[in-house]
């Protein structure tokens, strides 16, 4: 038995996936998908279930840009920083976005609405600049369009 993590949803995920070969990434994905991030309190249970040290589990979480060990904003907005988007104004868009949201890449707005994250390519390189909000990619995102997308999120509050 794994030690309980105080979160039954997390324990269920670990129990369900722990016997997969190479189970750690699938477990982390599922936890982040369900909880929104990978809470520190889940690390000991994962470690026990997979016979790893806590340091090893922590090392994996911190290695991958996708996994977060802190709660995220209500919406995750990823701005593509890679070359094909740079060629059509991604640098300007990034500056605009950080000004507009008064936050840095990799941070969450003061009101907790938006986490602004860098991403290196979304496979939409023919129609950049690209922005992903949740699971939705947006193409040809000008600063104006960025503002429209953000005000759409704020309305969803």
The binding site for ligand FES (CB under 6 A) comprises 80, 82, 84-85, 121-125, 128, 130
Q: Is residue 51 involved in binding other proteins (CB under 8 A)?
A: no
Please report how close the Cβ of residue 93 comes to ligand FES at its closest, in angstroms. 11
Q: Is residue 67 involved in binding other proteins (CB under 8 A)?
A: yes
Contact criterion met (CB below 8 Å) for 131 and 146 = yes
The one among 66, 71, 147, 152 contacting other proteins by CB under 8 A: 66
Pick 105 or 125: Cβ nearer ligand FES: 125
Q: Is residue 137 involved in binding other proteins (CB under 8 A)?
A: yes
Q: Which of 142, 73, 155, 151 is nearest to 106 (CA)?
A: 73
Please report how close the Cβ of residue 17 comes to ligand FES at its closest, in angstroms. 30
- Reduced to 3 states (helix: H, G, I; strand: E, B; else coil), residue 47 is helix
Instruction: Name residue 117's beta-bridge partners.
Output: 78
Q: Where are the beta strands (DSSP E) in 1-147?
A: 75-80, 107-108, 114-119, 131-133, 136-138
């Amino acid at each position: 038995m794994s030690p309980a993590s105080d979160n039954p949803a997390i324990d269920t995920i670990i129990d369900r996936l722990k016997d997969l070969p190479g189970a750690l990434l699938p477990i982390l994905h599922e936890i982040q998908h369900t909880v929104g991030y990978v809470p520190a309190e889940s690390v000991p249970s994962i470690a026990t279930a997979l016979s790893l040290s806590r340091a090893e589990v922590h090392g994996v979480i911190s290695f991958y840009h996708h996994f977060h060990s802190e709660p995220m904003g209500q919406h995750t907005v990823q701005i593509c920083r890679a070359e094909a988007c740079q060629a059509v104004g991604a640098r300007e868009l990034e500056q605009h976005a950080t000004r507009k949201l008064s936050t840095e890449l990799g941070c969450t707005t003061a009101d907790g609405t938006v986490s602004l994250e860098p991403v290196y390519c979304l496979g939409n390189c023919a129609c950049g600049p690209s922005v992903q909000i949740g699971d939705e990619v947006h193409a040809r995102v000008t600063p104006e369009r960025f503002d429209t997308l953000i005000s759409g999120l704020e309305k969803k509050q």
